[in-house]
Structure 1
Amino acid sequence: MFRTSAAVFAVCVGASAPLAAQDAERLFEALRLDDVVEVMRGEGIVAGEALEADLFPGRGGPLWDRVVRDIYDRSEMIEVVHDRFGKAIPEASVAPLIGFFESETGQRLVELEIAARRAMIDEAVEDAAAESARDATAARRDLIRDFIEANDLIEQNVTGALNSNLAFYRGLLDGEAPIGGLSQDQVIADVYASEPQVREDTVDWLEGYLTLAYAPVDDMALQQYLDLSRSDVGQDLNTAIFAAFDELYDDISYDLGRAAARFMSGQDL
């Protein structure tokens, strides 16, 4: 699970809330998607530092840091994810998913996923995780790769990364950044020319991340998770999670591009 608004539940107050809304809320909490958003925010703040170093070194400082933190507003992000997840998850799939993710095994898996993703914000941890993935037993490598395939994680994440990169460049163009007069067609071509490298990086990151996350889990528990992922309800969950996060990534990337354009061109801020 990689990549929710109070508005969708705003009319459902207290004990009068429809059961479907209450159950979707339980699932949201069991998956700890608010904590996933918090980790995503941490990743974004670190990425913002890299953007400054690449695009306008030494000209961002505390002001750029504040802009990035405002774009990655935790409350707004949780509201968006909450809303989109609640709308995307089929009602019939919620109960069996709650059964799994509120169980001891389900909660342990969620905790491990969040902890591993938080740890991998550190590049040294990411490198070590990639090395561990290469050194894992054949049985564990097969389970990890089957899990990646069952959840379509490579294609979903590659597509999401390319779309986010495109949104960032659209933000730069709309913000009139000094990027050598590149047209939108040229930007699109450049972004999609990066697909092979994005794919390679995605595979390495996913295998390292999942190897790190599930290292404390035995093969039986991981097989159980894989079986859930292959089921109809597991596929529904995967679709809903990507629906919840993908547009959010694109919106944030666009806003970062617009903001970076101002710093690159020296506009008044």
Structure 2
Amino acid sequence: MRRSLLLWPLLLMMLAAPVLADARMTVLVDVLKLREAAEILRIEGVETADELDLEMLDGQGGASWQIQVDAIYDTDRMVETVRAALERELQGDLLEEVIRFYSENPGARIVTLENTARDAIRDPAVEEAARARFAELDGSDDPRLGLIAELVASGDMVDRNVTNAMNANVQFLRGLVDGDAAEMTEEDMLSSVSGDLDEMTDDTRSWLFGYMLLAYSPLETSEIEDYLAFSRTPAGEALNRALFDGFGRSYEDISYALGRAVALNMLAEEL
């Protein structure tokens, strides 16, 4: 009896460890404002789905299409997919370092500015102005642009964004094929997506730099320097990998589901 009682503290510690880790991950999700970001991306996605309705369904998707789109852009599922990637990359001291950086300024302020800019740049006029601002500075020795260029390079952000976009596009085509709305081999899909690689890379670079110039415009130079320094730490690098992996996987799932939904509606129209 005495031996079994002595085991209780150890058992409680073993049970508490996963609970504590889960709680700290919840804190990270909160300080990164991932739910707010997911809602912005959901709005973007609904707008994209409206364009798909016009381009591929002749605007005849109707209420059924909207119901399908709402189910596909599930913010809870998006957050959980990103959270799973964060759990794979960030544990122990790395997790605590990220929480610490984003719990105080400039990290906390940066998250707010990034989400605000992402919401604003959905407006075509704002996007055009942001791209134009980057075009004016591109190739110059502007110090703020130089810091942003270092941020982009430290996270390999252009190539990672292009890769995620291409993977999502392949998944959309795969959804069409699996939904019997198109006939393409795997090679056909890859060829179709990679055919405009240079154009996609240039467009991604223009959008990304324009967005970051917009987002970080209220920051002091020293705050951007602090952000750059954090991005180069093991914790910053792990966070970058997790976010690209998590959001990339989420977009792949969404794109495939959109492809299947488009196929379903195309076939329904033919009946």
TM-score, structure 1 length as denominator?
A: 0.88
Cα deviation, 1:195-223, whole Å, max 9, x if unaligned, reads 11211111011001100000100111001
1:199 to 198, 201, 204: 201
Counterpart for residue 227 of structure 2? 225
- Bigger Rg over Cα: 2
Say whether 1:34 aligns with 2:38: no
For 2:134, give the aligned amino acid. Answer: A
Q: Is the 8 A contact 1:109 1:214 kept in 2?
A: yes
Counterpart for residue 152 of structure 1? 156
For 2:185, give the aligned amino acid. Answer: S
Task: Give the distance between the partners of 1:114 and 1:163, measured in 2 at CA.
Answer: 24
For 1:62, give the aligned amino acid. Answer: A
Range moving further from structure 2, 118-127 or 251-260: 118-127
Give the SS at the match of 2:106. Answer: helix
Counterpart for residue 6 of structure 2? none
Unaligned runs of 5+ in 2: 1-15
Give the SS at the match of 1:104. Answer: coil
Task: Give the distance between the partners of 2:39 and 2:173, measured in 1 at CA.
Answer: 25
Unaligned runs of 5+ in 1: 1-14
For 1:150, give the aligned amino acid. Answer: S
TM-score, structure 2 length as denominator?
A: 0.87
For 1:106, give the aligned amino acid. Answer: G
**May I ask how many residue pairs the two structures share in their alignment?**
255
Deviation at 1:22, TM superposition (A): 2.4
Task: Give the distance between the partners of 2:193 and 2:62, measured in 1 at CA.
Answer: 28
1:140 to 138, 144, 147: 144
Q: Is the 8 A contact 1:88 1:243 kept in 2?
A: no
Deviation at 1:263, TM superposition (A): 1.9
Task: Give the distance between the partners of 1:194 and 1:210, measured in 2 at CA.
Answer: 24
Deviation at 1:265, TM superposition (A): 2.6
Report matched runs for 1:3-152 at 5 Å.
18-136=19-137, 138-152=142-156
Task: Give the distance between the partners of 1:253 and 1:80, measured in 2 at CA.
Answer: 14
Task: Give the distance between the partners of 2:25 and 2:75, measured in 1 at CA.
Answer: 20
Q: 1:90 to 1:16 in 2, by over 3 A?
A: closer
Say whether 1:176 aligns with 2:180: yes
Q: Is the 8 A contact 1:90 1:236 kept in 2?
A: no
Task: Give the distance between the partners of 2:55 and 2:48, measured in 1 at CA.
Answer: 11
For 1:187, give the aligned amino acid. Answer: M
Give the SS at the match of 2:184. Answer: coil
Q: Is the 8 A contact 1:171 1:256 kept in 2?
A: yes
Counterpart for residue 255 of structure 2? 253
Q: 1:37 to 1:130 in 2, by over 3 A?
A: same
Cα deviation, 1:70-106, whole Å, max 9, x if unaligned, reads 1001222223322332233232201111111101321
Counterpart for residue 6 of structure 1? none
Q: Is the 8 A contact 2:78 2:247 kept in 1?
A: no
Task: Give the distance between the partners of 2:157 and 2:171, measured in 1 at CA.
Answer: 21
Task: Give the distance between the partners of 1:68 and 1:203, measured in 2 at CA.
Answer: 29
Task: Give the distance between the partners of 1:88 and 1:95, measured in 2 at CA.
Answer: 12
Q: Is the 8 A contact 1:171 1:258 kept in 2?
A: yes
Cα deviation, 1:231-258, whole Å, max 9, x if unaligned, reads 1111011111122211111011000000
Counterpart for residue 8 of structure 1? none
Identity %: 35
Deviation at 1:124, TM superposition (A): 1.5
Cα deviation, 1:165-185, whole Å, max 9, x if unaligned, reads 0000000000011x4x43332
For 1:227, give the aligned amino acid. Answer: A
Q: Is the 8 A contact 1:130 1:207 kept in 2?
A: yes
Q: Is the 8 A contact 2:90 2:235 kept in 1?
A: no
For 1:153, give the aligned amino acid. Answer: M
Task: Give the distance between the partners of 2:68 and 2:19, measured in 1 at CA.
Answer: 39
